[in-house]
């Protein structure tokens, strides 16, 4: 009774992804918050440096690093306090040799200075004089103009899915509107003579439509737009007409029920009747979900899901969700955690939990988590990072190669 | 320079969860799709059995099981075809001794029958006669009335977060509107003299507000409602007035920037000035994110996040997101995968990928994944299941205790 050619899941995915992304998506220009979760239609290029000026990343004093060389607890270096740089203002003071200027985290570094001494390593030594107990190297505890994002560089490529941290980086660049693709439009059509709408009272032998609600919600969770086309009886002409009108208004149409054994040929005959259509597969070697049918027709896609709600949901999650959400199967699938091998050693201080930002790379034996350089003042590190790795409270660090759970951003 | 008492992450979470859920959430009655991701304010009780009638779960013939005992390939049992049960109709035929009635998957089981023989195990043996090549046991390939959901039983408890599959189960029961809590309302206020709005041109020493965009997007991703209250200068009176008005309109107010070292006492002084307030903690032993402050005031919560965007985001994800999303820290956190030990052996057929629905239970050594009984026709198995375990293509099954990745629903 095996009437159709069954493909493996991998083969089914491969066939679907050949036609993905489907053509015909419109571009929309939206505010940042409206664009959350959407796919960038064009790359975003930085129009300016971030930060726009060299900034202190600690509270303390802006100094000439060379002046602090040799300083120690027992033999501090004394510097003359030349003034202070108020937050949010241009530096009105210049730091000359033997001088320091008070700065807060985020203050502009005054001319002449090339490093910041943390306030914890200083003391007030008298009227207009500070003592420095530790030397600093040039560049210490500051972030230079353009070190985070350089004007003219690509901040986010086309196709990028906008996450909360991406919106922050765009805000920092003064980019408050972005061009994204419209959400995928997905039409949903339940089929079956025995199916009635959830709000109707089923007669003898009838059941209420479950799949339309479940599939519409799954589509929404993928950031796509679901439109319901009601319940079609198992009638070729009626079903074809409904599929045709759903295809006109959507990129993808999901049928549920028409691929069960009793009516399995109906979906295929509907697809054949559409013209310009190609059957991609008819049956997948998975359980539940075997009687799944997929076809393309006129640049649109039709997938016939099994009628059993459990099967329909499993097939949606395996075959459809990755397309809608990521446009393929090669990217990591969704928020949550993935297991990875740490790409290099990281150190930590016992008594504190360290959250290390990592980038994921596919290695021969699975994911590799590479720590992203840059302190917490480096905004672009959030764009580069795929997730966080926790160094537990009492650990001194993690070895290279350690198996870690990466909490995805 | 350690001016405040630092707590561990676990202690911080414990303090926050003592006050969660905050009071004052309204109840809303919504359609199913509108209620996706929301928290049920009241339990849903089934008003009827699901299925409402005993149904076939295979295409084939409804029979009296005893008539098939002894049937085999070489010696089939012959049954008289009494009629058929059309899909979506009441069974008009009765199956007497030595009789069978044609049924499709989902058909009502006709009176007299107590099992279904798959069409694959039968053949047409002449006019009005079928041959049965395999015996069936009573109850085979059917699902009895009420076997899925029994009228009067609690389908979903109050507090349940509505997933796509839950909506499907509600639809099957004819429940098309549910009473849920309004989303958490979260006010977001950026602070700092150096901060300007993303749409403004920063002057010398100024930077654009990153955190409001990032935090609003993170809040949205948790299903809560974000309202921005702009950028407050580092001024006690101004900030207090803004926090007060944000608190009046929200359950939770997030400040960003006011807890950095330079202004760290400002948030605390604001909280103290609110009256009826209690400081929960002031500093958490995590990096990044140490200078985090939390307080409750008049049944509302105020959290001061670090000003660095990376730190603000990490703290949000660790301390705030689990509250907004799950109301605590004890439930599994988000979609994705978790690693678990399989609770009992499962079998599979090589050449097919099996997706096993499992329920997660916390065991002494981590999560245990317990396969949920019920075929793909059992809808309530979707509500009981927390996720899917894959039995790979060429495996014959998985042993009890096997370490598996559970893809969460």
Condensed to tens digits (0 to 9), the pLDDT of residues B357-386 reads: 898 888 888 889 999 877 666 767 777 788
Q: What is the pLDDT of residue A260?
A: 47
What is the three-class DSSP state of B120? helix
In the stretch 125-164 of chain B, residues with CB closer than 8 A to chain A read: 163-164
Report the sign of the C-alpha dihedral through residues A272, A277, A278, A280, in that order.
negative
What's the fold here for domain A337-408? Answer: Beta-clip (2.40.340)
Task: Output the pLDDT for position A326.
Answer: 76
Confidence of residue A353 (pLDDT cuts 50, 70, 90): confident
Range scoring the smallest mean pLDDT among A181-190, A220-229, A297-306, B258-267: B258-267
Compute chain B's Rg from CA coordinates: 30
pLDDT digits (tens, 9 = 90+) for A274-288: 888 999 998 899 888
Asked if B311 lies within 8 A of A376 by C-beta distance, the reply is yes
Q: Which residues, at least 6 apart from B112, have a Cβ–Cβ distance to it below 8 Å?
A: B64, B94, B95, B96, B99
Calculate how close chain B gets to A26, using CA atoms only, in Å: 23
The residues in A 356-375 lying below 8 A from B, measured between CB atoms, are: 357, 375
Distance from CA of B276 to the nearest CA of A (A): 31
Dist. CA B151–CA B154, nearest whole Å: 9
CATH class of A9-26+185-326: alpha beta
Chain B nearest-CA residue for A308: B377
Count CB neighbours of A175 within 10 A. Answer: 20
Distance of alpha carbon B102 from alpha carbon A346, whole angstroms: 67
Most A CBs within 10 Å, among B10, B108, B217, B373, to test the A interface: B217
Q: Look at residues A303, A283, A306 and name the one whose alpha carbon lies nearest to residue A294.
A: A303
Please answer yes or no on whether B205 and A174 come within 8 Å at the CB atom. Answer: no
Per-residue pLDDT band for A314 (boundaries 50, 70, 90) equals: confident
pLDDT digits (tens, 9 = 90+) for B336-360: 678 899 999 999 888 888 888 898 8
Alpha carbon of A381: minimum distance to chain B alpha carbons (Å): 8
Whether the CB-CB separation of B159 and B40 falls below 8 Å is answered with yes
- Quick check: B87 contacting A, CB < 8 Å? yes
pLDDT of residue A259: 46
Sign of the CA dihedral A212, A218, A219, A225? positive
pLDDT for B2: 41
Q: What is the pLDDT of residue B265?
A: 72
Q: Are A191 and A302 in contact (CB under 8 A)?
A: no
Strand-pairing partners, residue B63, are B100, B115
Residues in B touching A288 (Cβ below 8 Å): 355, 376
The nearest alpha carbon in chain A to B335 belongs to: A336
Q: What is the pTM of this model?
A: 0.86
| Tokens representing residue B42 in the block | 């009241």
Chain A touched by B12 (CB under 8 Å): no
Using a CB-CB distance cutoff of 8 angstroms, which residues of chain A are in contact with residue B175? 198
Phi, psi of B374 (to 5 degrees): 110, 135
pLDDT-based confidence at B393, cuts 50/70/90?
confident
In angstroms, the CA B157 to CA B321 distance is 22
> Which has the minimum average pLDDT: A202-216, A304-318, B15-29, B262-276?
B262-276
Instruction: Average the pLDDT over each of A166-170, A335-339, B214-218 and give the range with the smallest value.
Output: A335-339
Of A142, A121, A139, A107, the closest CA to residue A79 belongs to A121
At residue A198's C-alpha, the angle toward residues A194 and A202, to 5°, is 45
CATH 1.10.20.10 fits B55-143, yes or no: no
Q: Which residue of A198, A265, A358, A388 is the best one to mutate when testing the B interface, meaning the one whose CB has the most B CBs within 10 A?
A: A198
List the single residue in A51, A317, A378 with the smallest CB-CB distance to B207: A51
Alpha-carbon gap: B391 to the closest alpha carbon of chain A (Å): 10
The yes/no answer on whether domain B9-26+184-326 falls in CATH 1.10.1040.20 is no
Q: Give the integer Cα–Cα distance in Å for A346 and A338.
A: 19
Number of H helices, E strands in chain A: 9, 28
Which residues from chain B sit within 8 angstroms of residue A199, using beta carbons? Answer: 174, 176
Position B387 confidence tier, pLDDT thresholds 50, 70, 90? confident
Report CB contact under 8 Å: A59, B261: yes
Helix%, strand%, coil% for chain A, nearest 5: 20, 35, 45
Count CB pairs under 8 A between chains A and B. Answer: 322
- State the sign of the Cα–Cα–Cα–Cα dihedral B258, B264, B267, B273: negative
User: Is the pLDDT at A406 greater than 80, yes or no?
Assistant: yes
A chain contacts of residue B355, beta-carbon cutoff 8 Å: 286-289, 314, 318
Task: Please report, rounded to a whole number, the percentage of residues in chain B having pLDDT higher than 90.
Answer: 60
Q: What is the 3-state secondary structure (H, E, C) of B180-236?
A: EECCCEEEEEEECCCEECCCCCCCCCCEECCHHHHHHHHHHHCCCEEEEEEEECCCH
Token pair recorded at residue B294: 């939390």
Domain parsing of chain B, residue ranges: 9-26+184-326, 27-50+149-181, 55-143, 337-408
Do B174 and A199 make contact, defined as CB atoms within 8 angstroms? yes
CATH number given to B27-50+149-181: 3.90.105.10
Q: Which of B:188-207 have CB within 8 Å of A?
A: 192-195, 198-199, 201-207
* Alpha carbon of B50: minimum distance to chain A alpha carbons (Å): 9
CA atoms in the 13 A half-sphere facing the CB of A44 = 28
Measured between alpha carbons, how far is A283 from A298 in angstroms, rounded to an integer?
Answer: 22
What was the pLDDT predicted at B336? 67
Relative orientation angle of helices A236-249 and A264-274, to the nearest 10 degrees: 60
% helix, strand, coil for chain B, step of 5:
20, 35, 45
Question: Which residue from A206, A182, A211 is spatially nearest to A196, judged by alpha carbons?
Answer: A206
User: What is the model's pLDDT at position B329?
Assistant: 62
pLDDT digits (tens, 9 = 90+) for A33-52: 999 989 999 999 999 998 89
Show which of residues 222-281 on chain B sit within 8 Å of chain A, judged by CB atoms.
226, 234, 260-262
Least confident residue range of A216-220, A304-308, B33-37, B91-95: A304-308
Q: Is A322 on the interface with B (CB under 8 A)?
A: no
Are the CB atoms for A329 and A299 separated by under 8 Å? no
A220 touches chain B (CB under 8 A): yes
Helix ranges, A151-235 (H) = 164-172, 211-221
**Among candidates A33, A164, A285 on the partner chain, residue whose Cβ is nearest the Cβ of B353:** A285
**What is the distance between the alpha carbons of residues B342 and B337, in angstroms, rounded to a whole number?**
14
Buried b (16+ CB within 10 A) or exposed e, B68-101: beebeeeebbebebbbbbbbbbebebebeeebbb
**Residue A210 contacts B, CB cutoff 8 Å:** yes
Min Cα–Cα distance to chain B from A226, Å: 10
How far lies B62's CA from each of B55, B69, B375, B376, in Å?
10, 14, 19, 20
Chain B residues touching A285 at Cβ < 8 A: 351-353, 393
* CATH number 3.90.105.10 is the correct assignment for the domain at A27-50+147-181: yes
Residue pLDDT, tens place only, B168-225: 989 999 999 999 999 999 999 999 888 999 999 999 889 999 999 999 999 998 899 9
3-state SS, residue A218: helix
Of B104, B311, B379, nearest to A262 by CB-CB distance is B104
Mean pLDDT of chain A: 89
Q: How confident is the model at residue B234 (pLDDT cuts 50, 70, 90)?
A: confident
Domains A9-26+185-326 and A337-408 share a fold: no
pLDDT tens per residue across span A69-127 = 999 999 999 999 999 998 888 999 999 999 999 998 889 999 999 999 999 999 999 89
> For a pLDDT cut of 70, what percent of chain A falls above it?
94
Q: Does the distance separating the beta carbons of B89 and A378 come in below 8 Å?
A: no
Whole-number Å distance between alpha carbons of A115 and A107: 12
* Interchain proximity A355–B289, CB inside 8 Å: yes
Nearest Cα to Cα of residue A209 among B369, B168, B209: B168
> Contact A111/A91 with Cβ under 8 angstroms?
yes
Q: Which stretch, A251-260, A385-394, B156-165, B297-306, has highest mean pLDDT?
A: B297-306
A91: helix, strand or coil? coil
Site of tokens 């709000």: A199
A330 to chain B, minimum CA–CA distance in Å? Answer: 16
**Short-list A286, A380, A386, CA closest to A331:** A386
């Amino acid at each position: 009774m095996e009437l159709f050619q069954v493909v493996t899941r991998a083969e089914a995915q491969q066939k679907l992804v050949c036609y993905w992304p489907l053509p015909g998506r419109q571009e929309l220009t939206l505010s940042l918050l409206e664009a959350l979760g959407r796919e960038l239609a064009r790359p975003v290029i930085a129009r300016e440096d971030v930060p726009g000026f060299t900034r202190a990343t600690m509270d303390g004093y802006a100094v000439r690093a060379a002046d602090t060389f040799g300083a120690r607890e027992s033999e501090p270096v004394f510097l003359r306090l030349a003034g202070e740089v108020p937050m949010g203002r241009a530096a009105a003071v210049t730091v000359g040799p033997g001088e320091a200027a008070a700065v807060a985290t985020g203050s502009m570094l005054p001319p002449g200075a090339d490093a910041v001494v943390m306030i914890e390593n200083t003391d007030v030594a008298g009227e207009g004089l500070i003592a420095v107990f530790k030397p600093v190297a040039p560049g210490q505890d500051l972030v230079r103009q353009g070190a985070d994002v350089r004007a003219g560089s690509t901040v986010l490529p086309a196709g990028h899915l906008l996450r909360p941290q991406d919106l922050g980086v765009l805000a920092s660049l003064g980019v408050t509107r972005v061009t994204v693709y419209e959400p995928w439009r997905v039409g949903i059509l339940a089929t079956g003579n025995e199916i009635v709408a959830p709000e109707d009272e089923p007669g003898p032998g009838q059941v209420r439509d479950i799949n339309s609600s479940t599939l519409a919600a799954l589509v929404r969770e993928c950031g796509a737009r679901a439109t319901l086309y009601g319940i079609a009886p198992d009638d070729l002409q009626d079903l074809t007409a409904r599929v045709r009108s759903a295809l006109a208004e959507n990129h993808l149409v999901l049928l549920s029920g028409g691929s069960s054994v009793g009516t399995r040929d109906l979906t295929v005959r509907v697809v054949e009747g559409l013209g310009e259509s190609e059957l991609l597969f008819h049956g997948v070697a998975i359980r539940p979900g075997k009687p799944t049918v997929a076809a393309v027709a006129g640049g649109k896609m039709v997938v016939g899901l099994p009628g059993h709600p459990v099967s329909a949901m499993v097939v949606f999650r395996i075959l459809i969700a990755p397309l809608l959400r990521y446009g393929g199967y090669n990217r990591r699938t969704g928020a949550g955690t993935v297991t990875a091998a740490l790409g290099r050693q990281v150190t930590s201080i016992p008594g504190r939990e360290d959250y290390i930002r990592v980038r994921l790379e596919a290695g021969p034996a699975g994911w590799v988590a590479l720590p992203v350089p840059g302190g917490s003042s480096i905004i672009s590190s959030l764009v580069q990072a795929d997730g966080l790795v926790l160094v537990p409270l009492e650990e001194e660090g993690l070895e290279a190669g350690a198996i870690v759970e990466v909490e995805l951003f």
